[in-house]
Amino acid sequence: MKNVVLTFIIVCVLSNAIAGSVVGQTELIGDGNDGNRSRPVHRFELFDENGVQIRANGKDSKPFSIEKTCGQCHDYQKIEQGWHFNGHNPQVKSGRSGQPWVLTDSRTRTQIPVTARNWAGTYTPEELGISPWEFLKTFYSHFPGGSYGQMSADNPDEAIRQEISGKYEINCLACHHSSPHEDQSMAALQAARQNYRWIPTASSGKAVVEGVALSLDDFFDPEFDKGIEVSYNKDVFDADDKVFFDITLGTNDRCYFCHSNHNLDVSEDRVWTQDEDVHLNSGLNCIDCHRNGDDHMITRGVETEGPGKSLTCEGCHLGDHTEMPELGRLGSPKPLHRGIPTIHFEKLTCTACHSGTWPQQTSSRWQTARIHKTGLHGKHDLKITQPHVYAPVLMKGTDDKIGPYKMFWPAYWGLAMGEKIVPIPPKQVLEKAGSVLDADVDKIDDWRPLTMEKIQKVLLLLGQEDSRPVYIAGGKIYQLGAEGKITSGSHVAAQPYAWPLAHDVRPAEQSLGVHLCKDCHTTDSPFFFGNVEIDTPVRTEAGAQFVEMVELQGVDRLYMRLFNASFVFRPILKIVAFASCCLIGLVVLAYILRAVAAISNACAEGSKKDV
């Protein structure tokens, strides 16, 4: 008996080991790369989320599942670890700060950066009491699927709704389906309707989806009840019931849906006058620089991430003078930077001079696709104006270099616990102080204005025993002082949230420095002394407030003014120096000639004597 048990255990262990090694070695046909550069044709069967094939003549068609369909050939689990889909995972290296999601609430005067990535100044959905289900509901429009979209809801009410709506799988087609029928606005509309499992099907242009999961009651059974209908276009199926998808690595159009920015200084009827990034105009695509392997860890163009310098500005535009140069890629022109002292390359990022719009005396307001939900056409065009995102703001980053940034001023109610500020979710603020934060106040500059009296009342209502209620807005922290009076001051939590602005890159002829020093080194140059509005709902007698960029650059203002003023005398310096050099040169030359003449005379006299 003992031997039988032992044999059984050994057989189990061995079979597990063999199975494990086989699984580990198994590569799906879409993974890896045999080096052939031609584009694989994507003609394949569609499968629903239960793995049942969808056929042209099938009844009660279901939406196709990306995991089951694309997962036939590609390692879906591996792709899930990619940059676009791992935003929920704090274990992933966060890298340089990027654009967060922004939770806004007009009534509580809240605009707060949200991400699970470890970016300074942001808060995680968990900290704000946002469940994965609520996250999807809030940030649905430009969400690529996966991540929060696939998490099971813990809350029973949410779990019921998730059963109806399905999970929001990674929508591979959003980036890789280059068919002109691929409609991201439709994807957003389906997400707004909570038709999560239908999103890839509806947006692919292969089928029409009718019905709204949001309006179905909790007892709706997606297996048997008819509520949302899918009608596949019959001509998309071939004789083998396979469907062709025009799959590419990614086209600019696909990237643009989530990565567009709009300068509000340019009116809608003048948008056509704007240029794209100079690289795109020159024929490059986004993915030429922002590349990835099977793991979908897309490179962000940052030296400290991914393949290092190789896929950064320097990677293409500078050489490395090594025996086997790795830099200087893509036949990019090497900048001469004539007359620009090298100190600039130590103090500034490439983008400081080359990216964004030319700095103005006051930074413009911008909209970004993800924050302001742009690109949604028709009846779900939202016209979101908050938060007010400012750009280009030339400030010092964590790399200790000055570069252009987009930024906005966080505003939220919170509890001070020591030095840390813990935000109070808008829902909770409304529960406690909704009576004070009335909704019917006329908006001024998109904000419902807040008076000091109102802040005081809300703070009194939000008070807790073990913590001090505060309100953060416009770079200040408001709290109750002695005798219940409002005091304001500075706090690190009130600092603007900023992320680097890399695009659009301007052509060399439109870059800072094209007019030499005077583009930046004047006493009123926008680069140093441009203003950024301090955006706040708090109304004071002082009116609109601004902060100069020099303050955000960590540079002494007086020094910068004096230094820039000294450029007035630069021409004099050059003239004096050149004139002096000429004079010295002439004198030296004259005496050299005299010396030569004297030597010559001496030689001649010597010769005469000899004669």
Residues near another protein (CB under 8 A): 335-343, 345, 516, 556, 559, 562-563, 566, 570, 572-574, 576-581, 583-585, 587-588, 590-591, 594-595
State which residue, 116 or 520, has the beta carbon closest to another protein.
520
Q: State the nearest-atom distance from the C-beta of 583 to another protein, in Å.
A: 4
State which residue, 10 or 593, has the beta carbon closest to another protein.
593
State which residue, 546 or 569, has the beta carbon closest to another protein.
569
Rounded to an integer, what distance in angstroms lies between the CA atom of residue 506 and that of residue 266? 17
The DSSP string of 222-288 is TTT--SSEEEE-GGGB-TTSEEEE-B-S--HHHHHHHH-EEETTS-GGGGGG----HHHHTT--HHH
The beta-strand segments (E) located in 32-77 are 42-47, 53-54
State which residue, 19 or 516, has the beta carbon closest to another protein.
516
State which residue, 321 or 485, has the beta carbon closest to another protein.
321
Rounded to an integer, what distance in angstroms lies between the CA atom of residue 161 and that of residue 168? 13
Rounded to an integer, what distance in angstroms lies between the CA atom of residue 423 and that of residue 380? 30
State which residue, 17 or 573, has the beta carbon closest to another protein.
573
Q: State the nearest-atom distance from the C-beta of 350 to another protein, in Å.
A: 12
Q: State the nearest-atom distance from the C-beta of 351 to another protein, in Å.
A: 17
Q: State the nearest-atom distance from the C-beta of 309 to another protein, in Å.
A: 16
State which residue, 358 or 559, has the beta carbon closest to another protein.
559
**Residue 85 CB neighbours (<10 A):** 20
Q: State the nearest-atom distance from the C-beta of 323 to another protein, in Å.
A: 19
Rounded to an integer, what distance in angstroms lies between the CA atom of residue 145 and that of residue 87? 11
Quote the distance between the C-alpha of residue 56 and its chain's center: 40
Q: State the nearest-atom distance from the C-beta of 514 to another protein, in Å.
A: 10
* Beta-carbon-side half-sphere exposure of residue 321 (alpha carbons within 13 Å): 1
Q: Alpha-carbon Rg of the chain, whole angstroms?
A: 32
**Residue 519 CB neighbours (<10 A):** 17
State which residue, 377 or 594, has the beta carbon closest to another protein.
594
Q: State the nearest-atom distance from the C-beta of 559 to another protein, in Å.
A: 6
Residue with structure tokens 């930024």? 407
Q: CA-CA distances (angstroms) from residue 216 to 56, 164, 202, 310?
A: 27, 8, 18, 51
Task: Give the angle subtended at the CA of 33 by the CAs of 149 and 302, to the nearest 5°.
Answer: 60
State which residue, 13 or 576, has the beta carbon closest to another protein.
576
Q: State the nearest-atom distance from the C-beta of 516 to another protein, in Å.
A: 6
Rounded to an integer, what distance in angstroms lies between the CA atom of residue 251 and that of residue 285? 7
Q: CA-CA distances (angstroms) from residue 87 to 44, 128, 402, 408?
A: 30, 16, 27, 21
State which residue, 114 or 560, has the beta carbon closest to another protein.
560
State which residue, 270 or 337, has the beta carbon closest to another protein.
337
Q: State the nearest-atom distance from the C-beta of 565 to another protein, in Å.
A: 10
Q: State the nearest-atom distance from the C-beta of 585 to another protein, in Å.
A: 6
Quote the distance between the C-alpha of residue 235 and its chain's center: 39
| Residue 352: Cβ-neighbour burial (10 angstroms; 0-12, 13-18, 19+) | buried
Rounded to an integer, what distance in angstroms lies between the CA atom of residue 343 and that of residue 513? 14
Q: Which amino acid is at 525?
A: S
Q: State the nearest-atom distance from the C-beta of 402 to another protein, in Å.
A: 14
CA dihedral for 387, 450, 381, 213, sign (positive or negative) = positive
Q: State the nearest-atom distance from the C-beta of 404 to another protein, in Å.
A: 21
Q: State the nearest-atom distance from the C-beta of 599 to another protein, in Å.
A: 11
Q: Which amino acid is at 127?
A: E
The beta-strand segments (E) located in 78-174 are 101-105, 110-114
State which residue, 330 or 579, has the beta carbon closest to another protein.
579
State which residue, 223 or 400, has the beta carbon closest to another protein.
400
CB 531 within 8 A of CB 304: no
